[in-house]
Structure 1
Amino acid sequence: MASGKGIILITGGNTGIGYETVKALMQSEKPYTILMGSRKLENADNAIKQLSSEVPNTRSDVTPIQIDIVDDDSIDKCFKAVEQKYGKLDVLINNAGAAHDGLMLQTPGAKGIRAAWDLSYSVNVTSTQVMTSVFMPLLLQSSDPRLLFITSGLSSLNTASSGKTSNAVRANPPKGWPKPSEMSAIAYRSSKTALNMMMLDWARVLKEDGVKVWAISPGFLATGLAGVGAEKLKSFGAGHPSAGGDIIKKVVEGERDGDVGQVVNKDGVQPW
Protein backbone atom coordinates (compact mmCIF):
# COMPACT_ATOMS: atom_id res chain seq x y z
CA MET A 1 0.00 0.00 0.00
CA ALA A 2 1.34 3.42 -0.92
CA SER A 3 1.93 6.07 1.73
CA GLY A 4 -1.12 7.88 3.10
CA LYS A 5 -4.47 6.41 4.03
CA GLY A 6 -5.48 3.67 1.67
CA ILE A 7 -9.11 3.81 0.54
CA ILE A 8 -10.77 0.41 1.08
CA LEU A 9 -14.33 -0.52 0.13
CA ILE A 10 -15.73 -3.75 1.53
CA THR A 11 -19.19 -5.01 0.64
CA GLY A 12 -21.18 -6.71 3.38
CA GLY A 13 -18.89 -5.08 5.91
CA ASN A 14 -21.33 -4.77 8.78
CA THR A 15 -21.50 -8.41 9.82
CA GLY A 16 -19.66 -11.74 9.88
CA ILE A 17 -16.34 -11.94 8.06
CA GLY A 18 -16.83 -8.43 6.72
CA TYR A 19 -17.15 -7.01 10.23
CA GLU A 20 -14.09 -8.91 11.40
CA THR A 21 -12.13 -7.68 8.37
CA VAL A 22 -12.93 -4.07 9.22
CA LYS A 23 -11.93 -4.75 12.82
CA ALA A 24 -8.63 -6.34 11.79
CA LEU A 25 -7.81 -3.38 9.54
CA MET A 26 -8.69 -0.95 12.33
CA GLN A 27 -6.19 -2.74 14.57
CA SER A 28 -3.40 -2.30 12.03
CA GLU A 29 -0.52 0.12 12.50
CA LYS A 30 -1.29 1.34 9.00
CA PRO A 31 -4.02 3.96 8.64
CA TYR A 32 -6.96 3.35 6.31
CA THR A 33 -10.14 4.98 5.22
CA ILE A 34 -12.54 2.05 5.29
CA LEU A 35 -15.86 2.32 3.51
CA MET A 36 -18.15 -0.16 5.21
CA GLY A 37 -20.66 -1.26 2.59
CA SER A 38 -24.05 -2.36 3.88
CA ARG A 39 -27.49 -2.81 2.36
CA LYS A 40 -28.88 -0.62 5.15
CA LEU A 41 -26.98 2.36 6.51
CA GLU A 42 -28.51 1.79 9.93
CA ASN A 43 -26.81 -1.60 10.14
CA ALA A 44 -23.46 -0.06 9.21
CA ASP A 45 -23.91 2.74 11.75
CA ASN A 46 -24.59 0.19 14.50
CA ALA A 47 -21.60 -1.92 13.47
CA ILE A 48 -19.27 1.10 13.43
CA LYS A 49 -20.47 2.14 16.87
CA GLN A 50 -19.65 -1.33 18.20
CA LEU A 51 -16.25 -1.34 16.50
CA SER A 52 -15.43 2.05 17.98
CA SER A 53 -15.83 0.56 21.45
CA GLU A 54 -13.79 -2.54 20.55
CA VAL A 55 -10.97 -0.67 18.82
CA PRO A 56 -10.99 2.81 20.42
CA ASN A 57 -7.43 3.78 19.47
CA THR A 58 -7.48 2.99 15.77
CA ARG A 59 -5.50 5.05 13.28
CA SER A 60 -8.15 4.40 10.66
CA ASP A 61 -11.54 5.92 10.02
CA VAL A 62 -14.62 3.93 9.05
CA THR A 63 -17.43 5.42 7.01
CA PRO A 64 -20.79 3.76 6.29
CA ILE A 65 -21.88 3.56 2.68
CA GLN A 66 -25.06 2.07 1.28
CA ILE A 67 -24.51 -0.69 -1.27
CA ASP A 68 -26.74 -3.55 -2.32
CA ILE A 69 -24.85 -5.47 -4.99
CA VAL A 70 -28.00 -6.97 -6.50
CA ASP A 71 -29.32 -3.46 -7.17
CA ASP A 72 -27.66 -1.68 -10.12
CA ASP A 73 -28.96 1.73 -9.02
CA SER A 74 -27.41 1.19 -5.61
CA ILE A 75 -24.07 0.26 -7.19
CA ASP A 76 -24.10 3.34 -9.44
CA LYS A 77 -25.00 5.63 -6.54
CA CYS A 78 -22.22 4.16 -4.41
CA PHE A 79 -19.72 4.56 -7.24
CA LYS A 80 -20.60 8.23 -7.72
CA ALA A 81 -20.30 8.89 -3.98
CA VAL A 82 -16.84 7.32 -3.80
CA GLU A 83 -15.71 9.01 -7.00
CA GLN A 84 -16.84 12.43 -5.85
CA LYS A 85 -15.31 12.22 -2.36
CA TYR A 86 -12.13 10.22 -2.95
CA GLY A 87 -11.50 10.01 -6.69
CA LYS A 88 -9.93 6.57 -6.37
CA LEU A 89 -10.10 3.22 -4.63
CA ASP A 90 -7.04 1.30 -3.44
CA VAL A 91 -8.71 -1.94 -2.40
CA LEU A 92 -12.04 -3.46 -3.38
CA ILE A 93 -13.06 -6.39 -1.18
CA ASN A 94 -15.95 -8.29 -2.75
CA ASN A 95 -17.15 -9.84 0.48
CA ALA A 96 -20.95 -9.73 0.12
CA GLY A 97 -22.32 -13.18 -0.63
CA ALA A 98 -25.22 -15.45 0.09
CA ALA A 99 -26.20 -19.11 0.40
CA HIS A 100 -29.73 -20.02 -0.65
CA ASP A 101 -29.58 -23.83 -0.66
CA GLY A 102 -32.13 -23.92 2.14
CA LEU A 103 -34.79 -22.96 -0.39
CA MET A 104 -34.52 -26.47 -1.84
CA LEU A 105 -35.51 -27.90 1.53
CA GLN A 106 -38.23 -25.33 2.14
CA THR A 107 -39.78 -25.73 -1.32
CA PRO A 108 -39.10 -29.23 -2.68
CA GLY A 109 -39.17 -29.68 -6.44
CA ALA A 110 -38.29 -27.56 -9.44
CA LYS A 111 -39.38 -24.24 -7.96
CA GLY A 112 -37.08 -24.54 -4.94
CA ILE A 113 -34.16 -25.76 -7.04
CA ARG A 114 -34.47 -22.91 -9.52
CA ALA A 115 -34.78 -20.29 -6.80
CA ALA A 116 -31.76 -21.59 -4.87
CA TRP A 117 -29.50 -21.74 -7.90
CA ASP A 118 -30.65 -18.49 -9.50
CA LEU A 119 -30.27 -16.49 -6.29
CA SER A 120 -26.88 -18.02 -5.46
CA TYR A 121 -25.47 -17.12 -8.86
CA SER A 122 -27.15 -13.71 -8.90
CA VAL A 123 -25.44 -12.61 -5.68
CA ASN A 124 -22.15 -14.50 -5.71
CA VAL A 125 -21.35 -14.31 -9.40
CA THR A 126 -23.36 -11.88 -11.52
CA SER A 127 -23.71 -9.08 -8.97
CA THR A 128 -20.07 -9.39 -7.91
CA GLN A 129 -19.01 -9.10 -11.55
CA VAL A 130 -21.17 -6.00 -12.01
CA MET A 131 -19.82 -4.44 -8.82
CA THR A 132 -16.22 -5.03 -9.90
CA SER A 133 -16.78 -3.72 -13.43
CA VAL A 134 -18.44 -0.51 -12.25
CA PHE A 135 -15.73 0.30 -9.70
CA MET A 136 -12.78 -0.61 -11.91
CA PRO A 137 -12.13 2.99 -13.11
CA LEU A 138 -11.59 4.06 -9.49
CA LEU A 139 -9.36 1.08 -8.72
CA LEU A 140 -7.18 1.92 -11.70
CA GLN A 141 -6.50 5.36 -10.21
CA SER A 142 -4.59 3.72 -7.33
CA SER A 143 -0.82 3.37 -7.27
CA ASP A 144 -1.19 -0.07 -5.67
CA PRO A 145 -4.62 -1.44 -6.63
CA ARG A 146 -5.85 -4.65 -5.01
CA LEU A 147 -8.93 -6.65 -5.92
CA LEU A 148 -10.17 -9.35 -3.54
CA PHE A 149 -12.94 -11.91 -3.99
CA ILE A 150 -14.10 -13.85 -0.94
CA THR A 151 -14.64 -17.47 -1.96
CA SER A 152 -14.98 -20.71 0.03
CA GLY A 153 -13.12 -23.90 0.79
CA LEU A 154 -16.21 -25.65 -0.60
CA SER A 155 -15.40 -24.26 -4.05
CA SER A 156 -12.41 -26.54 -4.66
CA LEU A 157 -12.93 -29.00 -7.52
CA ASN A 158 -9.87 -30.87 -6.33
CA THR A 159 -11.38 -31.42 -2.89
CA ALA A 160 -14.83 -32.30 -4.27
CA SER A 161 -13.35 -34.83 -6.71
CA SER A 162 -11.94 -36.73 -3.75
CA GLY A 163 -15.48 -37.20 -2.44
CA LYS A 164 -15.44 -34.49 0.22
CA THR A 165 -18.25 -31.95 0.45
CA SER A 166 -18.77 -30.17 3.75
CA ASN A 167 -18.64 -30.91 7.47
CA ALA A 168 -22.43 -30.95 7.48
CA VAL A 169 -22.58 -33.91 5.07
CA ARG A 170 -21.28 -37.03 6.74
CA ALA A 171 -21.54 -39.68 4.03
CA ASN A 172 -22.78 -40.47 0.53
CA PRO A 173 -26.56 -40.95 0.37
CA PRO A 174 -27.94 -44.47 -0.11
CA LYS A 175 -28.85 -45.95 -3.47
CA GLY A 176 -32.20 -44.97 -5.01
CA TRP A 177 -34.34 -41.94 -5.75
CA PRO A 178 -35.38 -39.58 -4.33
CA LYS A 179 -32.35 -39.00 -2.16
CA PRO A 180 -32.89 -37.93 1.45
CA SER A 181 -32.79 -34.19 2.03
CA GLU A 182 -29.40 -32.82 3.04
CA MET A 183 -27.67 -29.47 3.21
CA SER A 184 -24.78 -30.12 0.84
CA ALA A 185 -24.69 -26.45 -0.22
CA ILE A 186 -24.28 -27.49 -3.84
CA ALA A 187 -25.70 -24.23 -5.29
CA TYR A 188 -23.50 -22.14 -3.02
CA ARG A 189 -20.44 -24.30 -3.69
CA SER A 190 -20.95 -24.15 -7.45
CA SER A 191 -21.38 -20.37 -7.42
CA LYS A 192 -18.14 -19.94 -5.50
CA THR A 193 -16.33 -22.19 -8.00
CA ALA A 194 -17.63 -19.86 -10.71
CA LEU A 195 -16.35 -16.93 -8.65
CA ASN A 196 -12.87 -18.47 -8.73
CA MET A 197 -13.01 -18.53 -12.53
CA MET A 198 -14.12 -14.90 -12.49
CA MET A 199 -11.11 -14.03 -10.34
CA LEU A 200 -8.77 -15.77 -12.77
CA ASP A 201 -10.13 -13.79 -15.67
CA TRP A 202 -9.84 -10.50 -13.81
CA ALA A 203 -6.22 -11.38 -12.99
CA ARG A 204 -5.61 -11.92 -16.72
CA VAL A 205 -7.46 -8.80 -17.85
CA LEU A 206 -5.77 -6.55 -15.29
CA LYS A 207 -2.24 -7.94 -15.43
CA GLU A 208 -0.85 -5.10 -17.56
CA ASP A 209 -2.59 -2.56 -15.33
CA GLY A 210 -0.67 -3.74 -12.27
CA VAL A 211 -3.77 -4.73 -10.31
CA LYS A 212 -3.11 -7.51 -7.82
CA VAL A 213 -6.01 -9.98 -7.73
CA TRP A 214 -6.86 -12.84 -5.36
CA ALA A 215 -9.66 -15.06 -4.21
CA ILE A 216 -9.57 -15.62 -0.47
CA SER A 217 -10.85 -18.75 1.22
CA PRO A 218 -11.40 -17.71 4.83
CA GLY A 219 -12.15 -21.20 6.15
CA PHE A 220 -15.17 -22.82 7.78
CA LEU A 221 -16.34 -20.07 10.09
CA ALA A 222 -19.37 -19.46 12.27
CA THR A 223 -21.19 -16.65 10.46
CA GLY A 224 -24.81 -15.89 9.64
CA LEU A 225 -24.46 -17.33 6.13
CA ALA A 226 -27.48 -19.36 4.99
CA GLY A 227 -29.36 -18.60 8.18
CA VAL A 228 -28.08 -21.78 9.83
CA GLY A 229 -26.87 -19.89 12.88
CA ALA A 230 -23.41 -19.47 14.36
CA GLU A 231 -23.98 -21.93 17.20
CA LYS A 232 -25.13 -24.66 14.82
CA LEU A 233 -22.09 -24.10 12.64
CA LYS A 234 -19.84 -24.24 15.69
CA SER A 235 -21.24 -27.70 16.43
CA PHE A 236 -19.87 -28.77 13.04
CA GLY A 237 -16.45 -27.35 13.90
CA ALA A 238 -16.70 -23.81 12.52
CA GLY A 239 -14.16 -21.30 13.79
CA HIS A 240 -14.53 -17.64 14.74
CA PRO A 241 -15.04 -15.18 11.84
CA SER A 242 -12.01 -13.20 13.02
CA ALA A 243 -9.83 -15.85 11.36
CA GLY A 244 -11.20 -14.72 8.01
CA GLY A 245 -10.59 -11.07 8.84
CA ASP A 246 -6.96 -11.82 9.67
CA ILE A 247 -6.34 -13.51 6.31
CA ILE A 248 -7.95 -10.68 4.38
CA LYS A 249 -5.88 -8.10 6.27
CA LYS A 250 -2.70 -9.97 5.35
CA VAL A 251 -3.64 -9.86 1.68
CA VAL A 252 -4.45 -6.15 1.87
CA GLU A 253 -1.11 -5.43 3.56
CA GLY A 254 1.03 -7.38 1.11
CA GLU A 255 1.85 -10.52 3.06
CA ARG A 256 0.40 -12.74 0.33
CA ASP A 257 1.72 -10.90 -2.72
CA GLY A 258 3.60 -14.03 -3.75
CA ASP A 259 0.25 -15.76 -4.30
CA VAL A 260 -1.34 -13.26 -6.69
CA GLY A 261 -3.91 -14.86 -8.99
CA GLN A 262 -4.50 -17.78 -6.62
CA VAL A 263 -7.09 -18.86 -4.06
CA VAL A 264 -5.34 -18.26 -0.75
CA ASN A 265 -6.19 -19.55 2.71
CA LYS A 266 -4.50 -19.65 6.10
CA ASP A 267 -2.37 -22.62 5.09
CA GLY A 268 -1.18 -21.30 1.74
CA VAL A 269 -2.83 -21.82 -1.63
CA GLN A 270 -6.09 -23.71 -1.96
CA PRO A 271 -6.11 -26.33 -4.73
CA TRP A 272 -8.43 -25.67 -7.63
Structure 2
Amino acid sequence: MASKTIIFITGANTGIGYEAVKAFLSSSTPYHVFVGARNLEKLETAINSFGDTGIHKLVPVQIDLLSDESIVTAFKQVSSEVGYIDVLINNAGAATSAPPSRESFLQDYNVNVAGTYTVTDTFLPLLIKSSAPRLLFLTSGLSSFEEVTKPNPRFPSPPAGWPKAPTPTWVCYIASKAALNMVMINFARILKNDNVKVWCISPGFLATDLGGDRERLKAMGAGDPSLGGTFIKDVVEGARDEDVGKVIRRDMVQPW
Protein backbone atom coordinates (compact mmCIF):
# COMPACT_ATOMS: atom_id res chain seq x y z
CA MET A 1 0.00 0.00 0.00
CA ALA A 2 1.21 3.50 -0.79
CA SER A 3 2.28 5.65 2.14
CA LYS A 4 -0.52 7.72 3.61
CA THR A 5 -0.84 11.46 3.02
CA ILE A 6 -0.51 13.03 6.47
CA ILE A 7 -2.94 15.83 7.33
CA PHE A 8 -3.49 18.00 10.38
CA ILE A 9 -6.83 19.81 10.44
CA THR A 10 -8.18 22.08 13.18
CA GLY A 11 -11.79 22.56 14.25
CA ALA A 12 -12.80 19.20 12.81
CA ASN A 13 -15.39 17.85 15.24
CA THR A 14 -18.25 19.67 13.49
CA GLY A 15 -19.26 21.64 10.41
CA ILE A 16 -16.97 21.95 7.41
CA GLY A 17 -14.01 20.43 9.23
CA TYR A 18 -16.02 17.32 10.10
CA GLU A 19 -17.24 17.07 6.51
CA ALA A 20 -13.66 17.41 5.24
CA VAL A 21 -12.57 14.44 7.34
CA LYS A 22 -15.57 12.48 6.03
CA ALA A 23 -14.55 13.39 2.47
CA PHE A 24 -10.99 12.17 3.06
CA LEU A 25 -12.38 8.86 4.34
CA SER A 26 -14.27 8.43 1.06
CA SER A 27 -11.10 8.84 -1.02
CA SER A 28 -9.10 6.05 -2.65
CA THR A 29 -5.99 7.94 -1.53
CA PRO A 30 -4.96 6.67 1.93
CA TYR A 31 -4.90 9.41 4.57
CA HIS A 32 -3.44 9.69 8.05
CA VAL A 33 -5.47 12.52 9.57
CA PHE A 34 -4.69 14.24 12.83
CA VAL A 35 -8.15 15.52 13.72
CA GLY A 36 -7.92 18.62 15.88
CA ALA A 37 -10.59 20.22 18.06
CA ARG A 38 -10.85 22.19 21.28
CA ASN A 39 -13.09 19.74 23.18
CA LEU A 40 -11.54 16.27 23.29
CA GLU A 41 -14.76 14.52 24.34
CA LYS A 42 -16.71 15.97 21.41
CA LEU A 43 -13.79 15.19 19.12
CA GLU A 44 -13.71 11.52 20.11
CA THR A 45 -17.49 11.33 19.63
CA ALA A 46 -17.09 12.77 16.14
CA ILE A 47 -14.32 10.32 15.24
CA ASN A 48 -16.32 7.36 16.56
CA SER A 49 -19.24 8.41 14.37
CA PHE A 50 -17.21 7.61 11.25
CA GLY A 51 -17.04 3.92 12.11
CA ASP A 52 -14.59 1.76 10.17
CA THR A 53 -11.98 4.03 8.57
CA GLY A 54 -10.70 1.37 6.16
CA ILE A 55 -7.36 2.29 4.59
CA HIS A 56 -7.29 5.58 6.52
CA LYS A 57 -6.18 6.46 10.04
CA LEU A 58 -7.70 9.11 12.30
CA VAL A 59 -5.93 10.44 15.39
CA PRO A 60 -7.59 12.88 17.83
CA VAL A 61 -5.61 15.96 18.83
CA GLN A 62 -6.83 18.44 21.44
CA ILE A 63 -6.00 22.00 20.38
CA ASP A 64 -7.34 25.37 21.51
CA LEU A 65 -6.37 28.31 19.28
CA LEU A 66 -6.64 30.67 22.26
CA SER A 67 -3.90 28.80 24.14
CA ASP A 68 -0.28 28.83 22.98
CA GLU A 69 0.40 26.01 25.46
CA SER A 70 -2.32 23.90 23.84
CA ILE A 71 -0.90 24.57 20.37
CA VAL A 72 2.60 23.55 21.45
CA THR A 73 1.25 20.41 23.14
CA ALA A 74 -0.59 19.48 19.94
CA PHE A 75 2.61 19.99 17.95
CA LYS A 76 4.54 17.74 20.32
CA GLN A 77 1.90 15.02 20.01
CA VAL A 78 1.93 15.10 16.20
CA SER A 79 5.72 15.36 15.90
CA SER A 80 6.18 12.44 18.29
CA GLU A 81 4.11 10.23 15.96
CA VAL A 82 5.29 11.40 12.52
CA GLY A 83 8.35 13.12 11.13
CA TYR A 84 6.41 15.46 8.84
CA ILE A 85 2.93 16.45 7.69
CA ASP A 86 1.88 16.89 4.08
CA VAL A 87 -1.09 19.16 4.63
CA LEU A 88 -2.05 21.72 7.27
CA ILE A 89 -5.70 22.80 7.15
CA ASN A 90 -6.53 25.81 9.30
CA ASN A 91 -10.26 25.27 9.59
CA ALA A 92 -11.02 26.30 13.19
CA GLY A 93 -12.68 29.69 13.49
CA ALA A 94 -14.86 31.92 15.64
CA ALA A 95 -17.74 34.28 14.97
CA THR A 96 -18.93 36.40 17.85
CA SER A 97 -22.67 36.89 18.29
CA ALA A 98 -22.16 40.11 20.25
CA PRO A 99 -22.50 43.61 18.77
CA PRO A 100 -19.20 45.05 17.46
CA SER A 101 -16.97 46.36 20.23
CA ARG A 102 -13.32 46.22 21.16
CA GLU A 103 -13.99 42.96 22.99
CA SER A 104 -15.90 41.26 20.17
CA PHE A 105 -13.39 42.35 17.52
CA LEU A 106 -10.52 41.02 19.60
CA GLN A 107 -12.37 37.75 20.18
CA ASP A 108 -12.68 36.98 16.47
CA TYR A 109 -9.20 38.28 15.61
CA ASN A 110 -7.65 36.25 18.42
CA VAL A 111 -8.96 32.98 16.98
CA ASN A 112 -9.18 33.65 13.25
CA VAL A 113 -5.97 35.62 12.83
CA ALA A 114 -3.61 35.35 15.82
CA GLY A 115 -4.54 31.77 16.74
CA THR A 116 -4.44 30.56 13.14
CA TYR A 117 -1.10 32.29 12.57
CA THR A 118 0.34 30.68 15.71
CA VAL A 119 -0.80 27.19 14.67
CA THR A 120 0.76 27.66 11.24
CA ASP A 121 4.00 29.08 12.58
CA THR A 122 4.27 26.24 15.10
CA PHE A 123 3.59 23.42 12.61
CA LEU A 124 5.70 24.73 9.71
CA PRO A 125 8.83 22.76 10.72
CA LEU A 126 6.82 19.58 10.07
CA LEU A 127 5.11 20.86 6.93
CA ILE A 128 8.22 21.94 5.04
CA LYS A 129 9.70 18.45 5.49
CA SER A 130 7.01 17.08 3.17
CA SER A 131 7.85 16.38 -0.46
CA ALA A 132 4.55 18.01 -1.50
CA PRO A 133 3.42 20.38 1.26
CA ARG A 134 0.05 22.15 1.18
CA LEU A 135 -1.26 24.88 3.46
CA LEU A 136 -4.96 25.83 3.55
CA PHE A 137 -6.78 28.61 5.40
CA LEU A 138 -10.58 28.72 5.65
CA THR A 139 -11.83 32.22 4.88
CA SER A 140 -15.18 33.81 3.98
CA GLY A 141 -16.88 34.99 0.81
CA LEU A 142 -17.64 38.22 2.65
CA SER A 143 -13.90 38.94 3.03
CA SER A 144 -13.68 40.28 -0.54
CA PHE A 145 -13.06 44.05 -0.52
CA GLU A 146 -14.08 44.32 -4.16
CA GLU A 147 -17.44 42.64 -3.63
CA VAL A 148 -18.48 44.25 -0.36
CA THR A 149 -17.93 47.74 -1.80
CA LYS A 150 -20.53 47.09 -4.52
CA PRO A 151 -24.17 48.10 -3.83
CA ASN A 152 -26.08 45.24 -2.25
CA PRO A 153 -29.83 45.43 -1.57
CA ARG A 154 -29.37 43.06 1.38
CA PHE A 155 -27.12 45.60 3.09
CA PRO A 156 -28.44 49.09 2.28
CA SER A 157 -26.85 52.25 3.66
CA PRO A 158 -28.94 53.68 6.54
CA PRO A 159 -30.47 57.17 6.48
CA ALA A 160 -28.36 60.19 7.46
CA GLY A 161 -28.15 61.11 11.12
CA TRP A 162 -27.25 59.50 14.40
CA PRO A 163 -27.68 57.09 16.05
CA LYS A 164 -27.56 54.45 13.35
CA ALA A 165 -29.09 51.01 13.51
CA PRO A 166 -26.73 48.53 15.22
CA THR A 167 -23.82 47.40 13.06
CA PRO A 168 -24.26 43.71 12.11
CA THR A 169 -22.42 41.33 14.41
CA TRP A 170 -20.75 39.63 11.46
CA VAL A 171 -18.60 42.72 10.80
CA CYS A 172 -16.10 41.41 13.37
CA TYR A 173 -15.98 38.03 11.64
CA ILE A 174 -15.54 39.25 8.08
CA ALA A 175 -12.92 41.82 9.11
CA SER A 176 -10.93 39.04 10.76
CA LYS A 177 -11.23 36.87 7.65
CA ALA A 178 -10.05 39.74 5.43
CA ALA A 179 -7.02 39.97 7.72
CA LEU A 180 -6.55 36.20 7.42
CA ASN A 181 -6.36 36.59 3.64
CA MET A 182 -3.37 38.87 4.17
CA VAL A 183 -1.80 36.29 6.48
CA MET A 184 -2.17 33.72 3.68
CA ILE A 185 -0.51 36.04 1.16
CA ASN A 186 2.44 36.50 3.48
CA PHE A 187 2.86 32.76 4.05
CA ALA A 188 2.65 32.15 0.29
CA ARG A 189 5.51 34.62 -0.13
CA ILE A 190 7.80 33.35 2.60
CA LEU A 191 7.21 29.68 1.74
CA LYS A 192 7.62 30.01 -2.02
CA ASN A 193 11.14 28.56 -2.07
CA ASP A 194 10.03 25.73 0.22
CA ASN A 195 7.59 24.68 -2.55
CA VAL A 196 4.58 24.96 -0.22
CA LYS A 197 1.30 25.39 -2.07
CA VAL A 198 -0.85 27.88 -0.17
CA TRP A 199 -4.51 28.93 -0.52
CA CYS A 200 -7.39 30.56 1.26
CA ILE A 201 -10.49 28.40 0.85
CA SER A 202 -13.78 30.29 0.55
CA PRO A 203 -16.34 27.49 0.89
CA GLY A 204 -19.47 29.53 0.22
CA PHE A 205 -22.65 30.15 2.19
CA LEU A 206 -23.10 26.92 4.12
CA ALA A 207 -25.31 25.92 7.03
CA THR A 208 -22.84 25.46 9.89
CA ASP A 209 -23.01 26.09 13.63
CA LEU A 210 -20.56 28.96 13.15
CA GLY A 211 -23.28 30.90 11.34
CA GLY A 212 -25.96 30.29 13.95
CA ASP A 213 -29.13 28.22 13.55
CA ARG A 214 -28.59 25.71 10.73
CA GLU A 215 -32.27 25.45 9.75
CA ARG A 216 -32.60 29.23 9.53
CA LEU A 217 -29.50 29.35 7.35
CA LYS A 218 -30.87 26.63 5.07
CA ALA A 219 -34.08 28.63 4.69
CA MET A 220 -31.91 31.55 3.56
CA GLY A 221 -30.32 29.39 0.86
CA ALA A 222 -27.27 28.03 2.66
CA GLY A 223 -25.80 24.84 1.23
CA ASP A 224 -24.85 21.66 3.03
CA PRO A 225 -21.46 21.75 4.84
CA SER A 226 -20.45 18.65 2.88
CA LEU A 227 -19.90 20.93 -0.12
CA GLY A 228 -17.11 22.63 1.80
CA GLY A 229 -15.64 19.33 2.95
CA THR A 230 -15.49 17.96 -0.59
CA PHE A 231 -13.98 21.22 -1.81
CA ILE A 232 -11.17 20.95 0.73
CA LYS A 233 -10.44 17.35 -0.27
CA ASP A 234 -10.36 18.30 -3.95
CA VAL A 235 -7.84 21.09 -3.28
CA VAL A 236 -5.66 18.72 -1.25
CA GLU A 237 -5.79 16.25 -4.15
CA GLY A 238 -4.63 18.84 -6.70
CA ALA A 239 -7.83 20.17 -8.27
CA ARG A 240 -6.85 23.84 -7.88
CA ASP A 241 -3.07 23.82 -8.18
CA GLU A 242 -3.27 26.50 -10.88
CA ASP A 243 -4.70 28.93 -8.29
CA VAL A 244 -1.96 28.78 -5.67
CA GLY A 245 -1.61 31.94 -3.57
CA LYS A 246 -5.21 33.02 -4.13
CA VAL A 247 -8.56 32.99 -2.37
CA ILE A 248 -10.55 30.30 -4.14
CA ARG A 249 -14.22 29.37 -4.31
CA ARG A 250 -15.61 26.10 -5.59
CA ASP A 251 -16.21 27.57 -9.05
CA MET A 252 -13.87 30.57 -9.30
CA VAL A 253 -11.11 32.72 -7.83
CA GLN A 254 -12.56 35.14 -5.30
CA PRO A 255 -11.82 38.82 -6.00
CA TRP A 256 -9.59 40.53 -3.48
TM-score category by the smaller chain?
over 0.9
Q: Deviations over 1:100-139 (max 9, x none)?
A: 1x211xxxxxxx6111101011010011111100100000
- Secondary structure of 1:176's aligned partner: coil
Q: Which amino acid aligns with 1:236?
A: M
1:64 and 2:60 are equivalent in the alignment: yes
Shift of 1:11: 0.3
Q: Which amino acid aligns with 1:14?
A: N
Q: Which amino acid aligns with 2:20?
A: T
**1:218-233 superposed matches below 5 A:** 218-226=203-211, 228-233=212-217
Q: Deviations over 1:187-237 (max 9, x none)?
A: 1111100000110010000000000000000000000015x2111111221
- Secondary structure of 2:101's aligned partner: helix
**Which one of 222, 225, 228 corresponds to residue 238 of structure 1?**
222
Q: 1:206 to 1:164 in 2, by over 3 A?
A: farther
**Which one of 85, 89, 96 corresponds to residue 85 of structure 2?**
89
**Structure 1 residue aligned with 2:130:** 142
- Secondary structure of 1:103's aligned partner: coil
Shift of 1:184: 5.5
**Structure 2 residue aligned with 1:107:** none
Query: For structure 2, which runs of at least 5 residues remain unmatched after alignment?
Result: none
- Secondary structure of 2:83's aligned partner: coil
Runs of 4+ in 1 over 4 A off after TM superposition: none
Q: Distance in 2 between matches of 1:231 and 1:117?
A: 27
Q: Distance in 2 between matches of 1:29 and 1:96?
A: 26
The CA RMSD over aligned residues, in Å, is: 1.5
Does the aligned pair in 1 maintain the 2:98–2:169 contact within 8 Å? no
**Which one of 137, 141, 152 corresponds to residue 153 of structure 1?**
141
Shift of 1:141: 1.0
**Which one of 179, 191, 194 corresponds to residue 206 of structure 1?**
191
- Secondary structure of 2:64's aligned partner: coil
Q: Distance in 1 between matches of 2:81 and 2:234?
A: 27
Does the aligned pair in 2 maintain the 1:151–1:196 contact within 8 Å? yes
Q: Which amino acid aligns with 2:31?
A: Y
Q: Which amino acid aligns with 2:203?
A: P
Q: Distance in 2 between matches of 1:115 and 1:223?
A: 24
Does the aligned pair in 2 maintain the 1:158–1:271 contact within 8 Å? yes
Q: Deviations over 1:221-254 (max 9, x none)?
A: 000015x211111122111000101110111001
Q: Distance in 2 between matches of 1:211 and 1:58?
A: 29
**Structure 2 residue aligned with 1:117:** 105
**Structure 1 residue aligned with 2:173:** 188
- Secondary structure of 1:239's aligned partner: coil
Shift of 1:181: 2.8
Does the aligned pair in 2 maintain the 1:103–1:115 contact within 8 Å? no
1:25 and 2:21 are equivalent in the alignment: no
Q: Deviations over 1:44-101 (max 9, x none)?
A: 110011122xxx464211111111111000000010111111011110000000111x
Does the aligned pair in 1 maintain the 2:72–2:122 contact within 8 Å? yes
1:172 and 2:154 are equivalent in the alignment: no
Q: 1:48 to 1:271 in 2, by over 3 A?
A: same
**TM-score (norm: length of structure 1):** 0.90
Shift of 1:183: 2.9
Query: For structure 1, which runs of at least 5 residues remain unmatched after alignment?
Result: 105-111
